[in-house]
Chains A and B, each alone.
Chain A
Amino acid sequence: MVYTKKNPALFIIGVIMLAIWFMADAGMLSGYIEHLGGKKYKYTKELLSIPLYFGVVAAVMGLWQWFGSHKEGNFDYYTSTLAGAMFILLIAMLVRWFIAPEVAVVSKMMGKVGDTGKYLHKILGLNYVVMGILTGIIIVNFFKVPEWAKNGVRVSRLGLKTGVILLGTLYSAAELKNLGGLSIFMIGFFVLGSVGMTLWLGARRGIPNSMGGVLSAGMGVCGVSATVASAPVVQAKSVEIAYTIGTILLWGVGCMFVFPMVGQMLDMSYLKFGAWAGTGILNSAQVAGAALAYQPDGIETLKVAEIFNITRVLVLPIIVMWLAVWYVKREQTGTKVSVGQVIVEKFPMFVIGFLLLFALSTTGMFAPANHYKGKYFNNTTDFKSKNLLSDSKKAALQAEMGKIQRADRKAAVERLIANGKIMSIEDDDQIRGLVNAKIMSKDNNKILKKAHKAVRHASAKIKAFRNWITWLFAFGLVGLGMQITVASMKQAGGQPAVIGGIVGFTKAVLSLIVVMLVVKDTI
């Protein structure tokens, strides 16, 4: 059987990509980019490279597919996926570069939501990842996936698996030693507890093992990464992944508003609230939103919540291992299998890849262990001199020193003025608190934010890995969306939301009790 379809689709996709590149390169998109955020628009560099490279490949291969002769065989089989893969990639490009930023513009026009300090699209998690899935769902349900693209949709899972393996580069066991014992204890207890409870409830309520497995990772760890990482381990269907992400995001939106209210009612300290939000809320952006809603004029709550949040993410490799063994053992009916046998015969190799890169990352191969903390505080040799504060900026800050009441914040700014850069992680916290408090003028707040960014930024390697992972996930999730039909959603029913609600509520209440009993009030 010859799989390659002799039609112009792939060639046309290539031409569209090249047209995007040409318009961006010739400045024809500059007006629209201005509308999407101007200098804050992050994708200008990508627009000038990615559509060019992929456009050339798609156009050349498209011509060959259209006019060439094709013979049955492996080469034909694998290259026949190109048209569909490029179709998905084009949609991912349009969503990432234009649709998601447009939604952000509209959301910003509507203003920030209450005291959260966040815009609606941030709260609802409407980024290009979620919108990519939604676009895929719309295409398959309203327009149908074209015949020539069907084979390509089947490579989306390969993209997700590759992304998950690379995800290992972003974690490091060395980070663990920077975290407090309390956060490790609380997160360990509640993550493992939530995963266990979801699996137990799932079995009792009769949902498939694949649904229970993926939901448990989502409810226990957090957000899209955990869901995507565990999905192939438990062979989750597309609709189950989408349900899990939807449940997490909706639950988080509710928590973001309820948590600060409960915190105010109980008069919780910043430390207690930060610990509770970091444990009980699932999505990173929503944790930050709740912490800022609770303490809009400082950084203390956010800082504590961030520590708990990072701890939770670091548990992901353990959860992936657990689910891999759990799933294979559950699916093996009748015969008793040992864990060793499971690993040799059935253990997903991409998890080994994930753990391999996690181990390499722990050695510091890709980034120094403390890179999240910022390696530039005391290091003057690596610090770029162009990032030092100019005399005019120092004078602008000096002119508003009288506005700062707190002595610790005042001292941090004085040190910043004296050295031209932030000198310690403690000073950085003070300055972030000062920015949040909006005491200084807008211009001076910009200077402070820039000074913060100059000392705390990810290494170039980590940035490159994040970009790769982002594109692989975007590609995989658009393709995944294209496999979700309305009929399959009806079949899955409302059980995931019910189980998610029970587990989320139990975790929120229990973690509140533990925080109130165990956590001391001082920072």
Chain B
Amino acid sequence: MSENNFDRGSALSIFGSDRKEDFMALAIALVIAFAVYFAY
């Protein structure tokens, strides 16, 4: 396995692409939104 195989992302993000980061943010936000919706 090469040394840089997991050296992904950029100086601003750990994700390989903006789309991946967006989807991750969307998933986290939806989890929070529904948690708030049911908890309060």
Contact = CB atoms under 8 A, between A and B. Distances in A.
Most buried by B among A76, A162, A461: A162
Given A72-B1, A366-B37, A464-B39, A162 B6 contact: no
Nearest to B19: A349
A165 interface: yes
A238 B12 CA distance: 9
Interface string B1-19: 1011111111111110011
**Size range of the chain B interface in the assembly:** 20 to 34
A247 interface: no
A82 to B, nearest CB: 11
A10 B25 CA distance: 24
Interface stretch (A151-159, A211-219, A262-270, A503-511): A151-159
Contacts of A151: 14
Interface string A463-503: 01100100000000000000100000000000000000000
A74 B14 CA distance: 11
Contacts, number: 89
A348 interface: yes
Interface string A348-386: 111011000100100001100000000000000000000
B12 A483 contact: yes
B13 A464 contact: no
B14 A166 contact: no
Nearest to A459: B40
Contact of A348 (B14, B22, B36, B39): B22
Nearest to B30: A353
A81 B14 contact: yes
B39 A158 contact: no
A353 B26 contact: yes
Given A1-B3, A3-B6, A464-B39, A155 B25 contact: no
B6 A465 contact: no
B13 A157 contact: yes
B33 A166 contact: yes
Nearest to B23: A349
Contacts of A235: 18
Contacts of B26: 165, 349-350, 352-353
Contacts of B12: 154, 157, 238, 483
A315 B25 CA distance: 23
B32 A461 contact: no
B32 to A, nearest CB: 6
B40 A1 contact: no
A165 B25 contact: yes
Given A158-B21, A165-B25, A353-B25, A78 B14 contact: yes
Chain A to chain B: the 9 pairs with minimum beta-carbon distance, closest first: A349-B22, A161-B25, A165-B29, A353-B26, A460-B40, A350-B22, A162-B25, A464-B36, A461-B40
Interface of A: 1, 3, 72-74, 76-78, 81, 151, 154-155, 157-158, 161-162, 164-166, 169, 232, 235, 238, 348-350, 352-353, 357, 360, 365-366, 460-461, 464-465, 468, 483
Given A154-B9, A154-B12, 19 more contacts: A1-B3, A1-B5, A1-B7, A3-B6, A72-B6, A74-B6, A151-B14, A155-B14, A158-B14, A161-B22, A162-B32, A165-B26, A232-B18, A238-B12, A348-B22, A349-B22, A360-B33, A465-B33, A468-B32
